[in-house]
Structure 1
Amino acid sequence: MEKLILPGMENQSHLFQLEQDVHYLNCAYMSPLLKAVEKQAISEIEKRRNPQNLTLADFFDPVSEVKKLFSNLIGGDDPDRIAIVPSASYGLATAALNMPARKGGKIVLLEGQFPSNYYVWKKRADSSGMKLEIVNKPTGQTSWSEKVLNTISPDTAAVVIAPVHWADGSKFDCSSIGERCKETESYFILDGTQAIGASEFDIGESRADALICAGYKWLMGPYSFGLAYYGPKFDNGNALEENWFSKVGSDDFANLVDYQEEFRPKAWRYNVGECSNFIYIKMMIAALKQIMEWSPSSIQNHCAEISSSFIGRISEMGFSVDAPDNRARHLFGILPTKTFSWEEFNRCCTEKKVLVSHRGPYIRVSPHLYNTAEDFTVLEQCLQRSIA
């Protein structure tokens, strides 16, 4: 079936290698590789065949470039505040290690937060005499952001949330929450994995002390490669590891055994070992360049354009989706009807090659620029079958 392309930003499916009969509405699970990213990976693998082709610049220049690109993407002005991490859990563990404890204090989390952004804080709380305070999603007129704001108090050690909830796409007012954290001198730490790259974000406006992102979803990079921002509160912190690359003078290979105590500035100390991974880093650079060329606002607009009619139609069928003001456009959760059959839905999705996710009570839908309105039409057919 030929896919229908609506007016607006030109559909970008030609930049990917998705099969024409697949309706991939699952970028929140894992992004497909851009052709340019795949090409870069192959090129670097071929270069790595012969190590004599590697130069000193191959270790350091791409690291500086990827830091600069990510800093620009989040509205930052200092690439030295960016660290390369292998996963969101690694970056969050770094933040947890360096967050001072407040005896009897609390760490504020969201209901249904991603496991990697729960376990590390549970451990931190248990080991330091603090407690977790989970803010549940409201059912009334109060917004989730308001509930978070009302929870923050002088005994709050940290607020650890996400700009966009990973399961249902709920949006949070990071600017207001960040301002409240500043007033109470609480750390404000964000897992940006399901937001950065697809939605507009400004690190200065958010007032976040740390922002950690896995790279294989909306940043469209490789698995096991992520990026993190660490603000001034982390400038003299402890890294999870002591690797040579993060030290002053690490670009002088002949004298590496003249051991150095001093780190390179700011977030450099938090780089994972072997962060100049020659293949992955070039893939991430290619991905970030493409995202910057598109712009996150264009991604939001396209996703809204191709999904709005669909959401209206399934709402009439009895399915529930949060109001547009409360959720992202690139990621949203559908609450099924009482008569909904997961078994029939999964059977239909397999038959029609529709890819979405089941997260908690939600059917999680996460489109991108390679999707069209036709993808939602086919998803709608499966929803209809599941309640018949």
Structure 2
Amino acid sequence: MNDEFPLHADICYLNHAAVSPWPKRTQNAVSKFAAQNTEYGATYYLDWLKVEASLRQRLANLIGSPSSADIALSKSTSEALSIIAYGLEWSEGDEIIISNQEFPSNRIVWESLASKGVKLRIADIDDIEHQDAVEAIAAEINENTKLISISSVQYASGLKVDINRLGKICHSKDILYCIDAIQSLGAIDFDINKNHADFVVADGHKWMMGPEGLALLYVKPTIRDTLSIQQYGWHMVEHRGDYTRKTWEPASDATRFECGSPNMLGIHALNASLSLIEDMGIKTIEQQLQSNIAYLIEQLKTLPNVEILSPIKEADRAGIVTFKIAGVDSNKLYSELMQQSVICACRGGGVRFSPHFYTQKHVIDNAIKKVKSLTHT
């Protein structure tokens, strides 16, 4: 696996929750695609369409969808959420529930519906010692609740929400259920047959180890044609490619949400990255990632005055560990770690480390040593 991730020896890469390095096979796929463009133009376009079909199938497999026809390719998680938010029909007094830990993408889009008379309720999921996240979210449900939108893993704390249990609640109460899976797809197992999601969105540049600019949008087939379409073009029609046809109708499959030309470069990259996930198996990836997270937590605990802000229990965690050290400014520590080639992030009031399944233990050891050196602990 080291051959797939020839990261520079000088860096400790612990930032997969932001932007992941590409596997070697992804670099090779993009290089091949670039060479074909340079030397042959669009000669191989029919082959490129096969790569696109392969990507849709791999994304369908990753979320447990029975058909690649359920998969739309969006530019970003934000765009995918906007397609949902402005495709649904809203009535005055409808309510949406999110949590107080959501990334802005899964908050701003719902706040923007206030002009339509839609109210946003925000569940406090911080106190997981006394009330778990699902209980806190369920407590906000009332007769006006139309949709619950939740991140499967929270970007700052790393809290993993029991999306399967929450999905059962939504299903039993006939509430629409949207999962922002950007911090879980490619890292932990995900199955729409178990979580009853009506919508799933996720960009490919984090745990799926793909490029920025390409995201998954899943809409449950039984409600797909109830979403109004806000973007129009040659690509979203039923008879795509029949350019002389004067009449048109939206495609019956998920491509109805794709108005124009596909991001073929991103498609080649993400398809290659997902092939690695398929080769490894998501359960193996999850096991190895959890082993790395357990090791990271153990090493952080050796630091004096450290406070781990992320969940410790395996059931509540994914691939994110955020920490702070008493008396040390987290923003300053983050900046100094980056200067020392520990690639990380500053989130949620602390420093966020996010290894992946392939991260070697010595990378974590080196990062901890640099934390100790910088904080004099």
1:151 is paired with a residue whose SS is: coil
* TM-score normalised by structure 1 residue count: 0.89
Q: Is the counterpart of residue 86 in structure 1 residue 75 in structure 2?
A: yes
Shift of 1:265: 1.9
CA distance in 1: counterparts of 2:352 and 2:316, whole angstroms: 12
CA distance in 2, matches of 1:59, 1:235: 28
Within the candidate set 101, 107, 121, 2:110 is matched to 121
> What is the match of residue 376 of structure 1?
364
Match of 1:223 among 208, 212, 215: 212
Secondary structure of residue in 1 paired with 2:325: coil
Is the counterpart of residue 294 in structure 1 residue 280 in structure 2? yes
The equivalent residue for 1:340 is 328
Q: Deviations over 1:81-114 (max 9, x none)?
A: 1001011111000110122324223211111311
Q: Which amino acid aligns with 1:191?
A: D
Contact 2:152–2:163 (CA under 8 A) maintained in structure 1:
yes
Query: Partner residue of 2:146?
Result: 157
Aligned partner letter, 2:260: G
Identify which of 346, 351, 364 aligns with 1:363: 351
Counterpart of 1:330, as a letter, is G
CA deviations on 1:336-377 (whole Å, 9 max, x unpaired) are 133223366236524542111101213221111331112222
Aligned ranges 1:216-365 → 2 under 5 Å: 216-231=205-220, 232-252=222-242, 256-275=243-262, 277-315=263-301, 317=304, 318-320=306-308, 321-334=310-323, 336-342=324-330, 345-346=333-334, 348-350=336-338, 352-365=340-353
From the superposition, tell whether residues 239 and 343 of structure 1 become closer, same or farther in structure 2 (CA, over 3 Å). closer
Contact 1:154–1:184 (8 Å) recurs in 2: no
Of stretches 222-231 and 301-310 in structure 1, the one that deviates more from structure 2 is: 301-310
Between Structure 1 and Structure 2, how many residues are aligned? Answer: 370
Query: 1:44 is matched with which residue: 33, 39, 60?
Result: 33
TM-score by length of 2: 0.91
For residues 285 and 52 of structure 1, the distance between their equivalents in structure 2, rounded to whole angstroms, comes to 19
Q: Distance in 2 between matches of 1:343 and 1:54?
A: 48
**Cα gap change, 1:272 to 1:45, in 2 (>3 Å):** farther
Q: Hey, what's the Cα distance between the residues in 2 that align with 1:21 and 1:226?
A: 31
How well do the aligned residues superpose, as a CA RMSD in angstroms? Answer: 2.0
Distance 1:14 1:341 in 2: 37
Aligned to 2:7: 18
CA shift at 1:197, angstroms? 1.0
Offset of 1:331 from its aligned partner?
A: 1.9
2:95 is equivalent to residue 106 of structure 1: yes
C-alpha separation in 2, matches of 1:168 and 1:300? 18
Partner of 2:202: 213
Could you list the per-position Cα deviations for residues 22-53 of structure 1 after superposition, in whole angstroms to 9, with x for gaps in the alignment?
Answer: 11010111111111111111111121123351
Indicate yes or no: 2:190 matched with 1:204: no
In the other structure, the counterpart of 1:5 is none
CA distance in structure 1 between the aligned counterparts of 2:213 and 2:343, rounded to whole angstroms: 23
Please name the residue that 1:132 is paired with: 120
Supply the distance in 2 between the matched residues of 1:294 and 1:198 (Cα, whole angstroms).
Answer: 11
1:40/1:283 contact within 8 Å kept: yes
Of the structure 1 ranges 13-22 and 203-212, higher mean CA displacement relative to structure 2 is found in: 13-22
Alignment partner of 1:204: what SS? helix
Partner amino acid, structure 1, of 2:286: Q
How far is 1:59 from its partner?
6.0
Q: Segments of 4+ in structure 1 off by > 4 A?
A: none
Q: For residues 135-158 of structure 1, what are the alpha-carbon distances to aligned partners after superposition, in whole Å with 9 as ceiling and x for unaligned?
A: 122324211122112222221111
- Partners of 1:179 and 1:153 lie apart in 2 by 16
Counterpart pick for 2:180 among 181, 184, 191: 191
Q: Of the two structures, which has the highest relative contact order with CA contacts closer than 8 Å and spacing of 6 or more?
A: 1
After superposition, the C-alpha distances for 1:207-254 in whole angstroms (9 at most, x for unaligned) are 1111011111112111111111111222342233112122122134xx
Q: Distance in 2 between matches of 1:362 and 1:326?
A: 22
SS class of match (1:160): strand
